[in-house]
Amino acid sequence: MGDNTLRIGLLGCIRFASKFVRTVTQSSNAVIIAISDPSIETANTFAAANNLSPETVSVYGSYEELLNDPRVDAVYLTMLVTQRAKWAVTAAEKKKHLLVEKPPAQNAAEIDKIVEACESNGVQFMDGTIWLHHKRTVNIRETMFDSGLLVDIRHMYSTMTTLVPEQVLERLTKEAMGLAGAIGELGWYPIGAALWAMSYQMPVSVKALPSSVATNSVGTILSCSASLQFGSTETATAIVHCSFLSQLSTDLAISGSKGSTHMNDYVIPYKEDTAWFEYTSGAKFAEMHIGWNMMPERVTVDCSGTEESQEATMLREFVRLVQGIKRGDSEADPRWQEISKKTQLVVDAVKKSVDIGCEVVYL
């Protein structure tokens, strides 16, 4: 293990953390050296299931024990969202760099506390919104935005839905899901996608759509759509939708004054080793409106190779930032905490709109 290898510890051994373990195992510049869970049995089971040898990986029955391990450079937080802010602050105070599963907190006030702790202790923060790191995302920016094919964005439509069995819906409590329910857990993606398309210009107002809001018997939000209004020289709008009541969908469509682009798998591509998007520029109906004057152009992005997935590129960027801090070459990059804060502010606004009867909330 060289000096440039980032030593990572896991705070929380949920099933989905196995994907992160796989990414780190395939990485050439990071290694997992410790895992922890409030249940030592859960931690041991996770270690065995993911081939984490006790000879190289310490297994702890509490988060405190892992955070007191001086070998750990950075931590990946996967516990319930209601606990993330507390442990993110504690980890930052222990000088551990933070990669936090999304959403990283329940509200913007909690993110402010995390950011303050990170800035005070000189550690890097990043949330786990993996699609932002995909090679396709970079390609769309270059192809559609930087080249001027879209010109002015007029409208966006984005979704994140996944069907949860009916018998499970009643177990989705605010204690487990956080105050925003599906708006935080799922809406983080479509809201973040709209902000990304607008280069993180904040909307001037948001409004939850009344007929779209569904809750379970304990008041947890299970489904919601919202409109976002962006104020600029030419006003842009977005419709975002999140739901635990619909089949899996991850749609993103962006319409501009000169072009448009769309994909149906922006969160996680259909295939790990390749991804694509389609676009048109200058499209119109053909003579007599019997078709279009063009077919969409498809751009395919090759992601083959063990370190080319969006999880791998996220990890590589995180490692690069942390190693720069450790060498004294750079300070923590504030861009990632700013993205998280803006996304959370819009999540909070949508939740507030729901709470006040789906009235308009101004930001």
User: How would you write the pLDDT of the chain (363 residues) with one tens digit per residue?
Assistant: 557 899 999 999 999 999 999 999 999 999 999 999 999 999 999 999 999 999 999 999 999 999 999 999 999 999 999 999 999 999 999 999 999 999 999 999 999 999 999 999 999 999 999 999 999 999 999 999 999 999 999 999 999 999 999 989 988 998 889 889 999 999 999 999 999 999 999 999 999 999 999 999 999 999 999 999 998 556 899 999 999 999 999 999 999 999 999 999 999 999 999 999 999 999 999 999 999 999 999 999 999 987 789 999 999 999 999 999 999 999 999 999 999 999 999 999 999 999 999 999 999
Q: Return the HEC string of 167-204.
A: HHHCCCCHHHHCCCCHHHHCCHHHHHHHHHHCCCCCCC
Q: How far apart are CA 56 and CA 34, in angstroms?
A: 8
Judged by DSSP in three states, 248 sits in coil
Place of tokens 């790990």: 272
- pLDDT recorded at residue 4: 85
Q: What count of residues does the chain have? A: 363
Q: Considering only CA atoms, which of 138, 76, 106 is closest in space to residue 302?
A: 138
- pLDDT recorded at residue 235: 87
Q: Are 56 and 50 in contact (CB under 8 A)?
A: no
- pLDDT recorded at residue 356: 98
- C-alpha distances (whole Å) from 2 to each of 7, 66, 315, 323 are 10, 21, 17, 12
- Assess whether the previous peptide bond of 103 is cis (omega < 30° from 0): yes
**Identity of residue 215:** T
* pTM for the whole structure: 0.96
- pLDDT recorded at residue 176: 86
- pLDDT recorded at residue 174: 86
- C-alpha distances (whole Å) from 94 to each of 34, 84, 168 are 15, 15, 37
Q: How far apart are CA 5 and CA 72, in angstroms?
A: 11
Q: Is 92 exposed, middle or buried (0-12, 13-18, 19+ CB in 10 A)?
A: buried
- pLDDT recorded at residue 1: 58
Token reading at 56: 């190289």
